[in-house]
């Protein structure tokens, strides 16, 4: 009698503990119908999903990043290709997550010597457990590159890519126009501020475009459209590549106007010898008859 039956159904409990007067059937708010996950799921804390300061886009993006396998690209370009939000909104959401500790971006050096950006997703930014438990290793400082003193001073600057060269006689007249166009690129993007040396190198390439009857507006559009989002380390090299790779073809060849065709008179008979000859209507005799009629000198 005193033994409980483990197979007996449990006693029904109220939907709201401590308040039996409230009904199970609520008229407002969310009602959850949960099914236990057994595969393909990730545990995400409410501190992220219900964060009071993060935007809805940042919360959703943070949940998406935490659900990805290790090694999945989460740069702005990859996320923009995956979602309908634009580059600016995704960039702002990443900065929110980074400001609240859910993301950390570090620049590390690969064994090949390249500097790359590594993104670390932290599922509990405020938890102070050991780095091996949290999955968020402490940032390692970049190893200082070994520098060997150069016997002739600093390392020489890498040469810029070659640009198309003008071929017409109007190249000198177009030089100032090309220089002004290059100097004005910084008004469209401050990263395109060029030095005098870079401008002098790029000017012949711009002249080659202008010689092909491309308007300055079209040249400017070709040089400033779809620039990468990251900082431009060598803006002049990028512009030189575009001038060479996107060089338009020469305009259709125009045959220069030549001298007018000679007038072809109709045949007529000479009044002197009755031979046929070509001459204006005013001539009545052929050349031989006119020569014979001239008096001797």
pLDDT digits (tens, 9 = 90+) for 123-143: 888 764 444 444 455 545 445
Q: What is the pLDDT of residue 56?
A: 94
Contact 283, 269 (CB under 8 A): no
- pTM (2 decimals)? 0.37
CA distances from 83 to 57, 261, 276 (A): 11, 68, 89
HSE-CB at 146 with a 13 A cutoff on CA atoms is 2
Q: Flag the least confident range among 130-139, 240-249, 255-264.
A: 130-139
pLDDT digits (tens, 9 = 90+) for 201-226: 999 999 999 988 899 999 999 999 99
- What lies within 8 Å, CB to CB, of 251 at 6+ separation is 212, 213
pLDDT digits (tens, 9 = 90+) for 106-119: 888 888 778 878 88
Average pLDDT over residues 86-91: 90
- In order of their start, the domains of the chain are 46-128 (1.10.10), 171-245 (no CATH)
Average pLDDT over residues 69-75: 88
pLDDT band, residue 155 (cuts 50/70/90): low
15: pLDDT strictly greater than 70: no
CA distances from 223 to 158, 227, 266 (A): 21, 8, 62
Q: Flag the least confident range among 4-8, 41-45, 203-207.
A: 4-8
Q: What does the alpha-carbon distance between residue 143 and residue 140 come to, in Å, rounded to a whole number? A: 9
Q: What is the pLDDT of residue 284?
A: 84
Which carries the bigger pLDDT value, residue 139 or residue 75? 75
Q: What is the pLDDT of residue 128?
A: 44
Highest mean pLDDT among 142-151, 155-164, 232-241, 271-280: 232-241
């Amino acid at each position: 009698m005193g033994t409980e039956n483990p197979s007996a159904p449990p006693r029904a409990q109220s939907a709201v503990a401590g308040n039996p007067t409230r009904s199970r059937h609520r008229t407002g708010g969310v009602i959850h119908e949960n099914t236990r996950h057994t595969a393909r799921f990730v545990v995400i804390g409410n501190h992220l999903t219900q964060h009071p300061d993060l935007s809805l886009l940042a919360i959703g993006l943070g949940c998406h990043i935490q659900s990805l396998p290790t090694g999945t690209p989460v740069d702005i370009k990859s996320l923009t290709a995956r979602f309908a939000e634009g580059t600016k909104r995704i960039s702002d959401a990443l900065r929110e997550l980074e400001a609240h500790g859910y993301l950390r971006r570090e620049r590390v050096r690969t064994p090949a010597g390249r500097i790359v950006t590594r993104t670390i997703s932290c599922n509990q930014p405020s938890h102070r457990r050991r780095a091996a438990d949290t999955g968020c290793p402490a940032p390692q400082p970049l190893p200082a590159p070994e520098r060997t003193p150069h016997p002739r001073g600093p390392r020489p600057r890498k040469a810029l890519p070659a640009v198309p060269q003008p071929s017409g006689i109007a190249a000198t007249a177009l030089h100032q126009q090309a220089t002004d166009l290059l100097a004005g690129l910084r008004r469209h993007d401050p990263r395109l501020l060029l030095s005098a040396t870079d401008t002098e190198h790029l000017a012949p390439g711009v002249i080659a475009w202008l010689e092909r009857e491309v308007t300055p507006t079209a040249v400017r559009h070709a040089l400033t459209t779809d620039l990468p989002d990251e900082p431009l380390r060598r803006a002049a090299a990028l512009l030189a590549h575009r001038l060479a790779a996107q060089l338009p073809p020469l305009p259709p060849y125009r045959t220069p106007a030549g001298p007018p065709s000679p007038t072809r008179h109709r045949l007529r008979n000479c009044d002197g010898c009755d031979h046929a000859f070509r001459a204006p209507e005013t001539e009545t005799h052929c050349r031989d008859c006119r020569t014979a009629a001239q008096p001797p000198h």
